[in-house]
Amino acid sequence: MDTTQLLRGVLDLAVLAVVEREDGYGYDVVRRLRAGGLTEVGDASVYGTLRRLYAAGALTSYVVPSDEGPHRKYYGITPAGREQLIQQAKEWTSFADTVTSLLPSPHRPTGAAR
């Protein structure tokens, strides 16, 4: 299955979750997503998502000057973003459970304990 298509639907949730854990700048968020297992994630997709979430009020941003190079733009979560995260996390869990329950039993991760 094309995981990039799947990713598109849940990138907001993943980005919110990563930023909620700790404030981060664009590439830092990309790295943490990849380190967390989303190895396919495109950096431009993440940057665009960060900007969109910021524009929607789910994230704040602040610039940290750098002596040696261009300034870094950090993102942090807002109360509205935290609410969105909780809401979307619920939706995701329920959706994932539903899809999992539709799968034949050998493929169920929960029921496949050997």
Q: Which range binds other proteins by CB under 8 A, 39-47, 77-85, 86-94, 105-113?
A: 39-47
What is the rounded distance in angstroms from the CA atom of residue 41 to the CA atom of residue 44? 9
Contacts of 64 (CB under 8 A, 6+ apart): 25, 71, 72, 73, 74
Closer CB to other proteins, residue 32 or residue 85? 32
Closer CB to other proteins, residue 64 or residue 103? 64
Closer CB to other proteins, residue 44 or residue 86? 44
Q: Which range binds other proteins by CB under 8 A, 23-31, 76-84, 88-96, 99-107?
A: 23-31
Compute φ and ψ for 76, nearest 5 degrees: -130, 160
CA atoms within 13 Å, Cβ hemisphere of 52: 11
Task: Among 13, 45, 60, 76, indicate the residue that binds other proteins (CB under 8 A).
Answer: 45
H or E stretch covering 37: none
Q: Which of the residues 83 through 102 are near other proteins (CB under 8 A)? A: none
